[in-house]
């Protein structure tokens, strides 16, 4: 069953009270950006105290510093003036439950949605699949603190990122709602 009607109904209610939000400036008012996971349990507006227009929020699977995420962060700074960046991964992330090899195997078997069981993801589709998955680096996670640090280091070492932008590293705890700093990541992301 599609949720399209629900989404459009919610949008109509939202638009009815939109008020002066159409007047918000293009640059984020609080001057920072967050790179975080697309996981539906994460609400950056709530865990970081954001209102519309406050900050840029860049989301992808795992909150990883992919080329596209770095592109977005650089645009956020270069064109819209952000001065601080946060990399925020989270506990119990789906990107911890598989490897590149598993993902490639799942797609090779079928394009159907896989099932998650006690032993990880398994393919339940009938095929056909695709070999295209072998050309993608899925940026899976085996250790949260290590992946946050890796991403902060990757951002910090980009030739397009100015040295005066601090990049902080955190893990959001999905059981408590708390942001837990990864000191090694924040140290690696320090501004100079």
Q: Are 131 and 142 part of one and the same domain?
A: no
pLDDT in tens, 89-141: 999 999 999 999 999 999 999 999 999 888 888 899 888 999 999 999 999 99
Asked if pLDDT for residue 2 goes beyond 90, the answer is yes
Q: Are 63 and 121 part of one and the same domain?
A: no
For residue 113, what pLDDT is reported?
Answer: 94
Looking at the structure of the chain, the number of domains it has is 2
Q: Are 34 and 126 part of one and the same domain?
A: no
- pTM reported for the whole predicted model: 0.94
CATH number at residue 82: 3.40.1050.10
Q: Are 80 and 142 part of one and the same domain?
A: yes
Q: Are 79 and 149 part of one and the same domain?
A: yes
Mean pLDDT of the chain: 96
Q: Are 85 and 153 part of one and the same domain?
A: yes
Domain that holds residue 112: 99-135
Residue 57: what are its φ and ψ, rounded to 5°? -125, 115
Yes or no: say if 146 and 95 are a contact pair by the CB < 8 Å rule: no
Q: Are 42 and 85 part of one and the same domain?
A: yes
- Residue by residue, DSSP assigns the chain as ---HHHHHHHHHHHHHT-GGGGG--SS-TT-EEEEEE--TT--HHHHTT--TTSEEEEEEGGG---HHHHHHHHHHHHTT---EEEEEEETT-GGGS--HHHHHHHHHH-SSPPEEETTEEE--------SGGGG------S-HHHHHHHHHHHHHH-TTS-TTS-EEEEEE-TTT--EEE-HHHHHHT---
Query: Per-residue pLDDT averaged across 56-76, rounded?
Result: 98
Strands 115-117, 32-37: pairing is unpaired
pLDDT in tens, 139-161: 999 999 999 999 999 999 999 99
């Amino acid at each position: 069953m599609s949720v399209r009607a629900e989404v459009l109904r919610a949008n109509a209610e939202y638009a009815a009270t939109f008020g002066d939000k159409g007047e918000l400036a293009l640059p984020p008012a609080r001057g920072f950006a967050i790179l975080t996971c697309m996981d539906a349990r994460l609400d950056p507006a709530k865990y970081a105290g954001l209102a519309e227009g406050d900050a840029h929020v860049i989301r992808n699977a795992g909150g990883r510093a992919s080329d596209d995420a770095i592109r977005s962060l650089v645009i956020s700074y270069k064109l819209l003036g952000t001065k601080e960046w946060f990399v925020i991964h989270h506990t119990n992330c789906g990107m911890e439950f598989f490897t590149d090899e598993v993902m490639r195997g799942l797609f090779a078997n079928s394009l159907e949605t896989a099932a998650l069981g006690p032993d990880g993801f398994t393919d339940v589709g009938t095929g056909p699949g695709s070999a295209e998955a072998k050309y993608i680096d899925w940026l899976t996670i085996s250790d949260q603190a290590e992946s946050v640090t890796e991403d902060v280091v990757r951002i910090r070492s980009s030739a397009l990122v100015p040295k005066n932008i601090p990049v902080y590293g955190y893990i959001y705890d999905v059981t408590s709602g708390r942001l837990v700093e990864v000191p090694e990541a924040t140290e690696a992301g320090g501004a100079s």
